[in-house]
Structure 1
Amino acid sequence: MNILWDFDGTLFDTYPAYTENLYKVLNGTVVREDIYRELKISATHAFKYFKLSDEQIKEVKKLNLEIPPSSIKPFPNVEKILRFANKNVIMTHKERKPVLDILQYYGFEKYFIEIVTVDNGYPRKPDPTSYQYLHDKYDLDLAIGDRELDLIPAKKIGMMSCMYGGNCEAADFQINDYNDFFKVVKLNN
C-alpha cells in the first residue's frame, strides 16, 4: 500500500502548540477550545475568523516556527502504519525545515520517499495538483488526513481517503486510533 499523508494533525499532534501560540497573540481573549476548532478547519480560516491583522499573523507564524520538535508528538501507533506501507509521501502546507526537523527528531524521515511542502510552490489544498503529481509518480492507494481539506484533493483524482480523528463526507472511512487502521483496511479490501 502506498500512502499520502497530511502532516499537521495527522502524523503529528501539532494543534495544541498552534492553539497556544494563537491564544498568546490574541492575548487570551478567546478560549482555547474555540481557537482549536477554527484551526482544525485551516490556519487561514482561523486568521480570518478571529480577524487577525497582518502583524498578528506574522507573529503567529513566527511563534509556530519556534516550536521545538520535542513539543510536537507523533500520534500513538502511527509508526505501525508507516512501517506497514510500501511507500509513504507527505503533502503539507507547512514549511520544509520544520517538517524535516520534526521527522528527524523522531527518526521518521526514513519512512518517506518524498515530502511536498508549501516550499514546492503547488497551489494550496483543496487544489489537487500536488496530489496528482505524487499519485502519478508513486501510484498512491490512499490519502490520510485530519480535515476535509486534506481529503477533497484525493477524491478529485480518484484516490481512496481516510479521515483521522473526525468525520467528513469526502472520507471513504474514518479512524480515531491508528490501531483501528488495519481493521478498516481489511474491511475495505
Structure 2
Amino acid sequence: MNILWDFDGTLFDTYKAFTNVLHEVLKGSVPPDEIFLELKKSFTHATAFFQLSEDQIAEFKLKERAISPEKKRPFPFVEDVLKQSNLNVIMTHKPREEVQTILDYFGWNHYFQEIVAGDDGFPRKPDPTAYRYLHDKYKLDLAVGDRVLDIVPAKEIGLHTCLFQNEGEGADFYLDTYEDFYITIKI
C-alpha cells in the first residue's frame, strides 16, 4: 500500500507540546483542554480564536521550535505500519527543517520516499495541488490525517482516506490506534 501521511497529530504526537506552549504564551488564562481542541482545527484557527497578537504568534513559533523532539514522539505502532507499507510520503504544513529534525532524531528518514513541507511552495490544505503532485508521482492508495482538512484534498483526487483519532465526517476509515491498521484498512 502506498500511503500519504500528514505529520503533526498523525505520525507524531505533537499537539500536547503545542498545547503546553500556547498555554504558556496565553499566561495560563485558557485551560489546556480548550487550547488543544482549537489547535486540532488548525494553528491559524487557534490564533484567530484566541486573538493572538503578532508578538504572541512569534513567541509561540520560537518556543515551539525549541522543544526537543523527545517531547514530539511518534504514536505507538505507527512505525509498524511504515515498515509494512510499500511506500510512504508526507504532506505537511510544517517547515521542512522542523520535519527533518524530528525524523533525524528518531531515525525515520528511510521510511519516506518524499516529503512535501510547508515551505516548498505548494498551496496549503485543503487545496489538492500537493496531494495531486504526490499521487501522480507515486500512485497513492490512501491518505492518513488527524483532521478533516487532511482528507478533503485526498477525496478530491480520488484517494481512500483515514482519520486518526478524529471522528469527523467524510473518511473511509477511522482509527484510534495504529495497532490494527492493516486489519481495519482493506482497500
TM-score tier (shorter): over 0.9
- Partner Cα separation in structure 1 for residue 98 and residue 30 of structure 2: 27
C-alpha deviations, 1:79-109, integer Å up to 9, x for none? 0110011110000000111111111111111
Does 2:76 match 1:93?
no
Shift of 1:180: 2.1
> For each residue in 1:93-151, what CA deviation from the matched residue of structure 2 results, as whole angstroms up to 9, or x when unmatched?
00111111111111111100100101101111111110000000000000000000101
Q: Aligned-pair distance for 1:72?
A: 0.9
- What is the CA–CA distance in structure 2 between the aligned matches of 1:167 and 1:122, rounded to whole Å? 27
Structure 1: which 5+ residue stretches go unaligned? Answer: none
Give the match for residue 39 of structure 1: 39
Matched, 1:28 2:33: no
Gaps of 5+ in 2: none
Equivalent residue, structure 2, for 1:176: 176
SS in 2 for 1:88: strand
**TM-score, normalised by the number of residues in structure 2:** 0.98
Following TM superposition, where does structure 1 have runs of at least 4 consecutive aligned residues deviating by more than 6 angstroms? none
Alignment of 1:144-159 (within 5 A): 144-159=144-159
Amino acid at match of 2:39: L
The separation in 2 between residues aligned to 1:38 and 1:181, in whole angstroms, is: 27
Matches for 1:1-189 after TM superposition, within 5 Å:
1-185=1-185, 188-189=186-187
Q: Distance in 2 between matches of 1:169 and 1:137?
A: 28
| Alpha-carbon distance in 2 for matches of 1:52, 1:184 | 40
CA RMSD of superposed structures (Å) = 0.7
Q: Secondary structure at the match of 1:143?
A: strand
> Matched residues, percent identical?
55
Shift of 1:170: 2.2
Letter of the aligned partner of 1:95 in structure 2? P
Whole-angstrom CA distance in 2 between matches of 1:172 and 1:107: 31
SS at match of 1:161: strand
The alignment partner of 2:10 has SS state of coil
TM-score by length of 1: 0.97
Matched to 1:51, the amino acid is Q
